[in-house]
Amino acid sequence: MSTLALAFDLVARWEVLLAITLAAVFGLFVGAIPGLTATLAVAVLVPITFHLDPIAAVGAMVSCSAMAIFAGDIPAFLLRIPGTPASAAYADEGYKMTLRGEAEKALGASLLFSAVGGLFGTAVLMLAAPSLAEVALKFSSFEYFWLALLGLTSAAFVSAGDPLKGLASLLIGLSASTIGMENPIGTPRFNFGSIELLGGVNFIAALIGLFAVAEILRYALKPSNNPHSVPQTSVGNPFRAWGKMLKTYWRNQIRGNILGVVVGALPGAGADIAAWMAYSISRRFSKQKEKYGTGHVEGIIESTSANNAALGSAWVPALVFGVPGDSITAIVIGVLFVHGMNPGPTLFLINPENIYAVFLIFIVANILLVVLGWGAIAVSKRILIIPRRLLMPVILAFCVTGAFAGNNNTFDIGVMLCFGILGFLMEENGIPVAPCILGLLLGEVLESNFITSMLKADGDLFAFFSRPISAGLGILTLIIWLFPLIRTVQALRVRRQKTA
Amino acid sequence: MRAIKIFWEEAMRVTDRTLGLVFVIAALIMGFMATRLPGGAPGNYGPDVFPILLSIFAILTGIGLIVRNSANQGTLKPLVRRVRLDWVRGAAVIASPIYAIVAMPTFGYSLTIFPVLVLLMAVFRCRLIIILPVAALCTIAIKYAFINVLSVPLPTATFLPF
Amino acid sequence: MGIVKLLSAAAIAAATMTGTAFAEYPEQTITIIVPWSAGGGTDAAARTIGTILERDLGQKVSVINRTGGSGVVGHSAIAAAKPDGYTLGLITSEINMMHWMGLTELTHEAYAPLAMMNEDPAGVHVAATSPWNDLGAMVEDIRANPGKFKGTGTGIGGSWHLALAGLLNELDISADALPWIPSKGAATGLLDIVAGGAHVAPVSLPEAAALAEAGKLKTLAIMSNQRAENFPDVPTVEQAIGVPWSQGVWRGMVVPKGVDEAIVEKLSAAMEKIYKDPEYADFMQKRGFGLRYMGSAEFGEFLGEEDASMGVVLKAIGLAKQ
């Protein structure tokens, strides 16, 4: 108890609270701009944290990343332009709600369940960090290969309207991910002699292109086909609306939280993948499957619960073994070192008040998320009032700047434009763009874990089933894949019997 | 007897058969290029394995699209209403990033983004009295945000002090 | 006549003006290009150097990340920068590998070296459950069972791969005896060692510290001339098996070739001052980075020697393009 009191003293100081709040506002701002990710927000904070005391430094990074992941939903829902990759899975769903005048409801749901998810992730971090980290250590390339395949399966659910075209989109994304030399062997592929393409397609530039630039192109090319501004309904007292949603969708929330925590704790998978998998699971088991894709809050709730829960549990392997759970914790580990809080099991034994202070900050940050987030929703809603003919050029300016800023490279502006045209053509032909993003995200993971597994096993395919967790994941994947096939065969047999 | 479905859509749509064909051709090209890649150092699992697998899947998907199109002939016919496209506006959107790529290194950030904003707002038919102040304000705001808040160094004009 | 006089006067004026310009260097913002992404180790080192340089020279220093292509993009950007002394770069070991592997034409000759600022020697890490308790046992086991054990910790042809392959090459063990499993980074590779997917990871000691502390890994040796201050129990390769071998990753400050001698000297002196600054030492120590300094001339010599030895190792393991 005295440890907790000590930790409380560490956190309840004005410079710590000020750092957390300022970082939170900064995170909201960065996350809401298309093309700027939560990782970038945290990276920018790094030089500033050197001058802060350890707890304030870690607190700033925690609150900044939590805000940025939520804020990515704001442009995703209002303009169908995801602010961060983690929002891409359900951007369409939220945008459809906005078109119905339910922007506030959608964003409110995202905010509440982000905060609850974050708190759940924190609870797991506090109670189960060491044992969860042990599980994460059992994952090698075999397990990650199956996990990536499971992740890809969600493409089928995101594009349930036309699975074949969803598959086509996924394959476009996977193929684009093979460009460059970021493959296990390090051989340059499909770069056509370009040095810039050696590093592969810049994911952020592609994301901005597929969503934002494609949207602007559509607006420009098809003036007769633009949604007129929809009168937005207010949800009134947010707490009453939240109470109702919690009551209806608590199952989704808990399932999303658990999935997020598990996926987040694995180094090599993160909040983005958690959001995708949660969306597809929610759709698969929903009683109202037909409503998905038309602007249904259920899928949003489950995936937003997952991505913020993943954010907390990504700290598990980072704190216990110094192994980053995602790109954000990779940066955090560096900062912890600088402040003498070297990650490792001793972090929990020597001066445990430090680590408890970090946990307390997680709680503070998630409560702060609700307050600041609600303010951000109220402000950003006004974007919808701005006429599109003025808004679209400004968004394009942000996109160009964002694509440039990632690498300080004009080449990525070209990448963004190419994916913008590609995204426009795809959607015109009924090919959804979301699976393409998933393919880009997972292509490298899938390939490297497949190839390294084959190298380790000297080409023995059975090795994918020779380890307990790997075998379990593999069988699960195969069942999910074969299930629709079995159903079709059965249906055919039934039909044949009827005609006979 | 299945009912003949008719639906209207406003899209630049090609038939599934054309789409499938494009897919198959693209996949064949990728597969062919992959076979020309160096075999990779260790074992037989070189850089060519994954792209070849992908191209096989892509060919199957393309064939699937073609077959489905033929099977659906007559039963599922999209009556696509050809939408009138505004090519001038589209060209302006595509030209803007291209201009940015060319101009940014020499003209610097402000002199690149400001004309882009003015051009786009003009082709989108905003009033001139709004365009200039809004474009100027946005350029300054974005530049300030990126340089001072995000500490991203944006290029400056090589011939001007700002 | 008059025109010639005027021209020569102008030339003299220009010469004196540029002369004074050099004397007043630096008079505008200095940029440091980092070939790796923001938030990483090289980036953190560059930002610390930048902060101290800004204070010492009294001129704004901004750090730019030019990532991609396994460092090729950033290293090329440093070489291609205008040689006016206002663009510096923090180059890393990769500069001596990528041209051998045919990724670029660029070599260290494109730069004028200022100083080496850090070096992290490679360690030899194995799982805690591994039967090997010293480096000698490991090496002999690999020699006796070629192809049975696997190494990991970086991509194929990465620094850590070459460090271990070079050692085996030195001991006349064929490169095929220890097949390499490419991994995304040191952390991924170490996890694979713990999970039992591979057997040895030659990455730096600080990277493995947390897992070693947790009792998941043991460190058999450090590829350096002397033991590391933070890890006094780990023997050097020479102490373990009697063969001198040191290899690691390093970072050094450079400017593109063609920068005025006076500016190079001034910057070189500035780097030495930074290296001796307690703030720099304190940062490197806390971050777990190894300290090693070489002045301009010494660093230049080192670059040439290392380039040659990297060529030998890369050819031996068949990664060098002909």
Q: What is the pLDDT of residues B93-133, one digit of tens each?
A: 999 999 999 999 888 899 999 999 999 999 998 888 899 99
Looking at the structure, tell me whether residues C304 and C225 fall in a common domain.
no
- In chain C, DSSP assigns E strands to 30-34, 61-65, 87-92, 111-121, 123-127, 151-152, 180-181, 200-201, 217-222, 248-256, 291-294
Q: How far apart are CA B90 and CA B70, in angstroms?
A: 33
Per-residue pLDDT band for A381 (boundaries 50, 70, 90) equals: confident
Residue where a domain terminates, one of C216, C241, C266: C241
| CB atoms C156 and A185 under 8 Å | yes
SS3 label, residue C78: helix
Contacts of residue B42 in chain C, CB cutoff 8 Å? Answer: 156, 179-180
- Those residues with Cβ within 8 angstroms of residue A488's Cβ, 6 or more apart along the chain or in another chain: none
Domain harbouring C180, CATH code? 3.40.190.10
Mutation for B interface: A42, A187, A395, A461, most B CBs within 10 A: A187
The kind and range of the H/E element at B8 are: strand B5-9
Number of domains composing chain C:
2
CB of B41 less than 8 A from some CB of C: yes
- Is residue C19 pLDDT above 80, yes or no? no
**DSSP letter assigned to residue A161:** T
Q: C81 to chain A, minimum CA–CA distance in Å?
A: 14
The tokens describing B125, both together, are 């038919």
Judged by CB atoms within 8 Å, which residues 59-78 of A form the interface with C? Answer: none
Could you tell me how many residues make up chain C?
322
Residue C322 lies in a domain: no
| Amino acid identity for residue A41 in this structure | A
Give the mean pLDDT of C39-58: 87
Query: Across-strand partners of C115?
Result: C253
Which of A44, A223, A454 shows the shortest C-beta gap to B86?
Answer: A223
Put simply, whether C165 touches B (Cβ < 8 Å) is no
Confidence band (pLDDT; 50, 70, 90) for C186?
Answer: confident
Among A50, A329, A466, A467, the strongest candidate for a mutation testing the C interface, having the largest count of C CBs within 10 A, is A50
Together in a domain, C80 and C222: no
Does C134 lie in the same domain as C85?
no
Handedness of CA A262, A268, A271, A272 (dihedral sign): negative
With beta carbons under 8 A apart, name residues in chain A contacting B65: 164-165, 168
pLDDT at C18 over 80: no
Q: Are C65 and A46 in contact (CB under 8 A)?
A: no
Range(s) of the domain holding residue C84: 2-120+249-316
Q: Are residues C138 and C287 in the same domain?
A: no
CA dist A295 and A290 (Å) reads: 11
Q: What letter does residue A323 receive in the DSSP assignment?
A: -
pLDDT at residue C11 is higher than 50: no
Question: Looking at this predicted complex, what is its ipTM?
Answer: 0.88
- Name the residue among A390, A401, A429 with its Cβ closest to that of B13: A429
Are C49 and C90 in a shared domain?
A: yes
pLDDT of residue C20: 43
Which of C222, C241, C260 is the C-terminal boundary of a domain? C241
CB-CB neighbors (< 8 A) of B43 in chain C: 179
Task: Check if the beta carbon of residue A330 is closer than 8 Å to that of residue A319.
Answer: no
Within an 8 Å CB–CB cutoff, is residue A187 touching chain B?
A: yes
Average pLDDT of the segment spanning A103-130: 90
Please answer whether residues B153 and C62 qualify as being in contact, where contact means their C-beta atoms are separated by less than 8 angstroms: yes
C202: which 2 tokens? Answer: 């030659």
Dist. CA A171–CA A122, nearest whole Å: 36
Q: Which residues of B touch A164 (CB under 8 A)?
A: 61, 64-65, 68
With 90 as the cut, is the pLDDT of residue B82 above it? no
CA dihedral C288, C290, C296, C301 (to 10 degrees): -140
Beta pairing partners, C34: C65
Run of H or E including A345: none
CB contact under 8 Å between C156 and B42, yes or no, is yes
- C216:A408 CB<8 A: no
**Tens digits of residue pLDDT in C111-165:** 999 999 999 899 999 999 999 999 999 999 999 999 899 999 888 888 899 999 9
Find residue B6's DSSP bridge partners.
B77
Residue C236 lies in a domain: yes
A139 vs C48, C195, C287: nearest CB: C195
Measured in angstroms, the CA of B23 and the nearest CA of chain C are apart by 28
Residue C321 lies in a domain: no
What pLDDT is attached to residue B1? 34
- Considering the domain architecture, whether residues C36 and C135 belong to the same structural domain is answered as no
Of C178, C213, C241, which residue sits at a domain end? Answer: C241
Q: Considering only CB atoms, which chain C residues are within 8 Å of A327?
A: 39
